[in-house]
Amino acid sequence: MLAQFQTFIPPVRTLMGPGPSDVDPRILNALSRPTLGHLDPAFIQLMDEIKQLLQYAFKTDNQLTMPISAPGSAGMESVFVNLLEPGDKVIVCQNGVFGGRMQQNVERCGATAVMVQDTWGKQTDLNKLEDALKATPDAKAVAFVHAETSTGVRNDAKAICALAKRYDCLTIVDAVTSLGGIELDVDGWQIDAIYSGTQKCLSCVPGLSPVSFSQEAVEVIKSRKSKVQSWFLDMELVMGYWGQGGKRAYHHTAPVNSLYALHESLRILHNEGLSSAFLRHQEMHVALKVGLEKIGLEFVVDQAYRLPQLNMVSIPQGVDDAQVRSQLLNEYGLEIGAGLGELAGKVWRIGLMGYGCNKKNVDYCVNALTSVLA
């Protein structure tokens, strides 16, 4: 006999981990509107607005600004496969998990990753980066993660880009966790290629990756000697669908409803204003810090470069990591994040991202942790 399958009704959760974050009901509502054809004039108008709203969020006039129809990892891959060719050298700054993924992307393009390693939980050291730039005069690009989700560190994107530009390098930035949560200025900081994700401070559904490429990056793509090895992520082809050069050709069937959701999430960010959104993240971080420190939890990352949207605290001695997280989930419906990589079992990561970054969530999390740790 065939099994009977029930409609899936997700349990009620409060998502305060490293992402995905809670999705604003206004965004879920947008997602459920009737699907249009991906070349319908009304949909194309929506795509144009998404592009303008992304330019606002990234602070850029870059024409080549759009969401890739796949998660942040695909945005990451799109940047590397389009800009790199076999034999290229890229300086990759690593101080957490995601810098390591950049290295793997570079190597899979047949290029060499020159690594600048820093301790997880500390910022990328500008002196070390400058030494690597001096030692690698033929480096094509410098790549780094703006907001390292695995540690809660904010790397100094403005200073790193300024340094890279002094050595004539392209700048490649991972803004998966930073977009919408902390200051980011693509044009002002001379960022050539950037990718983000929708599931963090944009509080949209997971599965899309906003990207933006500067004119200099576009020239590099146009003057490639070899074909981009990925058909799906080849920006010359993707551009044809997103209206670059007035074209609108079918490339792939866009995730139409997810793009309704992205439009709504960007509209919400635009209405709030970038500086108000950044201030809200900072204020809620301070409220969370006061509450957590009262119950003896200690922050790992220095205040000077701590991300407000990703709070990493040490697990107190003798406390069972998995037991606490499962009690929070089962008794409070509250998700917080475990440590990743070398930090597994040592830290918790508490997200305050986008819609979920509010006083109600701060209090809920502090109260739940207070009872579970008592």
Binding residues for substrate: 349
Nearer to ligand PLP, 63 or 192 (CB): 192
Nearer to ligand PLP, 22 or 63 (CB): 22
**Residue 208 interacts with ligand PLP (CB under 6 A): yes or no:** no
Angstrom distance (rounded) from CA 151 to CA 299: 11
Q: Per this entry, what is the length of the chain?
A: 374
Nearer to ligand PLP, 174 or 234 (CB): 174
Angstrom distance (rounded) from CA 352 to CA 17: 8
Angstrom distance (rounded) from CA 190 to CA 164: 10
**Residue 180 interacts with ligand PLP (CB under 6 A): yes or no:** no
**Residue 19 interacts with ligand PLP (CB under 6 A): yes or no:** yes
**Residue 176 interacts with ligand PLP (CB under 6 A): yes or no:** yes
Q: How far is the CB of 208 from ligand PLP (least distance, A)?
A: 9
Nearer to ligand PLP, 76 or 133 (CB): 76
Helix, coil or strand: residue 215? helix
Taking CB atoms, the residue at the shortest distance from ligand PLP is: 72
**Residue 71 interacts with ligand PLP (CB under 6 A): yes or no:** yes
Q: How far is the CB of 250 from ligand PLP (least distance, A)?
A: 25
Q: How far is the CB of 148 from ligand PLP (least distance, A)?
A: 6
The C-alpha angle with vertex 333 and arms to 328 and 334, in degrees rounded to 5, equals: 55
**Residue 98 interacts with ligand PLP (CB under 6 A): yes or no:** yes
**Which of the stretches 71-79, 115-123, 224-232, 336-344 binds ligand PLP when contact is defined by CB under 6 A?**
71-79
Angstrom distance (rounded) from CA 369 to CA 287: 15
**Residue 73 interacts with ligand PLP (CB under 6 A): yes or no:** yes
**Residue 205 interacts with ligand PLP (CB under 6 A): yes or no:** no
**Which of the stretches 26-34, 69-77, 125-133, 158-166 binds ligand PLP when contact is defined by CB under 6 A?**
69-77
**Residue 177 interacts with ligand PLP (CB under 6 A): yes or no:** yes
**Residue 197 interacts with ligand PLP (CB under 6 A): yes or no:** yes
- For strand 334-338 and strand 64-68, is the pairing parallel, antiparallel, or unpaired? unpaired
Nearer to ligand PLP, 176 or 259 (CB): 176
Angstrom distance (rounded) from CA 117 to CA 303: 21
Angstrom distance (rounded) from CA 221 to CA 225: 9
**Residue 291 interacts with ligand PLP (CB under 6 A): yes or no:** no
Q: What are phi and psi of 121, to 5 degrees?
A: 105, -10
**Residue 145 interacts with ligand PLP (CB under 6 A): yes or no:** yes
Within a 10 A sphere around the Cβ of 362, how many other Cβ atoms?
24
Can you list the alpha helix ranges (DSSP code H) found in 109-213?
126-135, 157-166
Nearer to ligand PLP, 72 or 339 (CB): 72
Nearer to ligand PLP, 179 or 269 (CB): 179
Which residues contribute to the annotated binding site?
349
CB distance 234 to 77 below 8 Å: no
Within a 10 A sphere around the Cβ of 152, how many other Cβ atoms?
29
Close Cβ partners of 195 (under 8 Å, ≥ 6 residues apart) = 68, 72, 75, 76, 78, 79, 173, 174, 175, 176, 209, 210, 211
Residues within the interface to ligand PLP (CB under 6 A): 19, 71-73, 76, 98, 145, 149, 174, 176-177, 197
